[in-house]
Chains A and B, each alone.
Chain A
Amino acid sequence: QKEVEQDPGPLSVPEGAIVSLNCTYSNSAFQYFMWYRQYSRKGPELLMYTYSSGNKEDGRFTAQVDKSSKYISLFIRDSQPSDSATYLCAGAVQGAQKLVFGQGTRLTINP
């Protein structure tokens, strides 16, 4: 079993829709959870960062972490074609530098 599981998609939605991206993880020691956005043939860029359980909002993006069910989510409101990318979730143990990534979900926002 992979430490972080993510549906690879692809996921295609119309512009303006609300997008929900999800991951599950198995390592109970994870305390930090990240969402990265990766455009084609580029390196990942940090989009959202959450510590432990709870919600975090930044503009059109909301990250949720439910440690009881080991479930993390990213919501994108008012999706734009420029949001089309691969979204990677990642977890990390406190005190460790290693990030464990999910497979990534390829998202396409259609105009």
Chain B
Amino acid sequence: GAVVSQHPSWVICKSGTSVKIECRSLDFQATTMFWYRQFPKQSLMLMATSNEGSKATYEQGVEKDKFLINHASLTLSTLTVTSAHPEDSSFYICSATPSWTSGQTGDTQYFGPGTRLTVL
């Protein structure tokens, strides 16, 4: 149980185009979903936290107009990288917290397999 999927797993796009990445909780409803970015040989950096039906909360330094997050349902969140540039090339990972937990004990985030974005 508690499986999170991401689509696509790998995407290549041209500079200036927009890319949408989907994050789905397959067998549970997710109160909260998180989006992380991971550069090669570096750690996961939280980009934003989103709750179903409300606006995402972005971490300091993350451009909300560039990284659009939509959490339209309890099982789906999307991240759209608008006007992508080569420096946006990274591994994007989402995680989800089941609705049956408070999400406040640190062990309740289930991670997706990640999406590798390459911007040419």
- Tell me, yes or no, whether A binds B: yes
* Contacting residues, chain A, for B97 (C-beta < 8 A): 97
* Contacting residues, chain A, for B109 (C-beta < 8 A): 46, 97, 99
Q: In the complex the two chains form, is B105's CB within 8 Å of A88's CB? A: no
Report if A54 contacts B (CB, 8 A): no
Question: How many pairs, one residue from A and one from B, have CB atoms within 8 Å of each other in the complex?
Answer: 67
- Total chain B interface residues with beta-carbon distance under 8 A: 26
Interface 9-residue window, one of B12-20, B65-73, B77-85, B110-118 = B110-118
* Contacting residues, chain A, for B106 (C-beta < 8 A): 31-34, 49, 90-92, 99
Q: In the complex the two chains form, is B114's CB within 8 Å of A43's CB? A: yes
Report if A95 contacts B (CB, 8 A): yes
* Contacting residues, chain A, for B104 (C-beta < 8 A): 94-97
Q: In the complex the two chains form, is A104's CB within 8 Å of B43's CB? A: yes
**A99 to B104 alpha-carbon distance, docked (Å):** 10
**A34 to B95 alpha-carbon distance, docked (Å):** 15
Bits for A48-63, please: 1 = Cβ < 8 Å to B, else 0: 0101000000000000
**Can you name the residue of chain B whose Cβ is closest to the Cβ of A102?**
B43
**A104 to B106 alpha-carbon distance, docked (Å):** 18
Q: Report the minimal beta-carbon distance from A97 to chain B, rounded to whole angstroms.
A: 5
Q: Report the minimal beta-carbon distance from A107 to chain B, rounded to whole angstroms.
A: 13
Report if A44 contacts B (CB, 8 A): yes
Q: In the complex the two chains form, is B107's CB within 8 Å of A34's CB? A: yes
Contact of B46 among A31, A42, A94, A98 (CB under 8 A): A98
* Contacting residues, chain B, for A31 (C-beta < 8 A): 106
Bits for B31-70, please: 1 = Cβ < 8 Å to A, else 0: 0101000000111111001000000000000000000000
**Which residues in A have some Cβ–Cβ distance to B below 8 Å?**
4, 6, 8, 31-34, 36, 41-46, 49, 51, 88, 90-92, 94-99, 101-104, 106
13 contacts between A and B (CB under 8 A): A32-B107, A42-B113, A43-B95, A43-B114, A44-B44, A46-B107, A46-B109, A51-B105, A91-B106, A92-B106, A96-B104, A102-B43, A104-B42
A32-B106, A104-B41 given; name 17 further pairs at CB < 8 Å: A4-B43, A6-B43, A31-B106, A34-B106, A41-B91, A43-B95, A44-B111, A45-B111, A46-B107, A91-B106, A97-B32, A97-B97, A99-B44, A101-B43, A103-B41, A104-B42, A104-B43
